[in-house]
Amino acid sequence: MRKPLKPLALSAPLVLSVALVGFGHAWPAEEPSTAPPPTEDPEVEAVVDHRQGAMSVAGGSMSALAAVVLDGAPYEDRLETYAGALRDVMSDIPAFFPEESDHPESDARAAVWDDRETFRERAEAAAEAAAELADAVERNDQAAAVQAFGGLGNACGACHEDFRN
Partner 1 sequence: MRTSGTEASPAPRAWRALGGCLAGAGFLVGVAHVGIGGALTSGPASPQAIPSPPDPSASADTVLPWEVEGDPASDDAVERGAYLARAGNCIACHTVEDPEPEDYLAGGNPIASPFGTFYGTNITPHPEEGIGEWELEDLERALREGRAPDRSRFYPVFPYTAFTGMRDEDVADLHAFLQAIPARDRENRSHDLAWFALRGGLGLWASLHFDEGRFQEDPERGERWNRGAYLTRAVAHCAECHSPRTRTGGIDEDLRYAGTREPPGEDETIPNITPHPETGIGDWSPRELVRYLQMGMDPDGDFAGGSMGEVISEGTSHLTDEDLEAIAEYILSLEPVHHDVD
Residues lying near partner 1 in the complex (CB under 8 A): 14, 16-30, 55-56, 58-66, 68-72, 76-77, 79, 107, 109, 121-122, 125, 137, 140-147, 150-151, 153-165
Q: Which amino acid is at 141?
A: D
CB of 12 to partner 1, least distance (A): 13
CB of 95 to partner 1, least distance (A): 20
- Asked whether 93 and 164 are in contact (CB, 8 A), the reply is no
CB of 31 to partner 1, least distance (A): 10
Give the residue with the Cβ less far from partner 1, 44 or 68: 68
Give the residue with the Cβ less far from partner 1, 41 or 142: 142
CB of 4 to partner 1, least distance (A): 22
Other beta carbons less than 10 A from residue 96's beta carbon: 19
Name the helix (H) or strand (E) containing 26.
Answer: none
C-alpha 100/C-alpha 34 separation (Å) is 11
CB of 41 to partner 1, least distance (A): 19
Q: List Cα–Cα distances, 12 to 16, 17, 87, in angstroms.
A: 6, 9, 61
Give the residue with the Cβ less far from partner 1, 1 or 26: 26
Give the residue with the Cβ less far from partner 1, 8 or 21: 21
C-alpha 79/C-alpha 138 separation (Å) is 9
The DSSP annotation for 83-114 comes to HHHHHHHHTTGGGGS-TT---TT--B-THHHH
Give the residue with the Cβ less far from partner 1, 116 or 160: 160
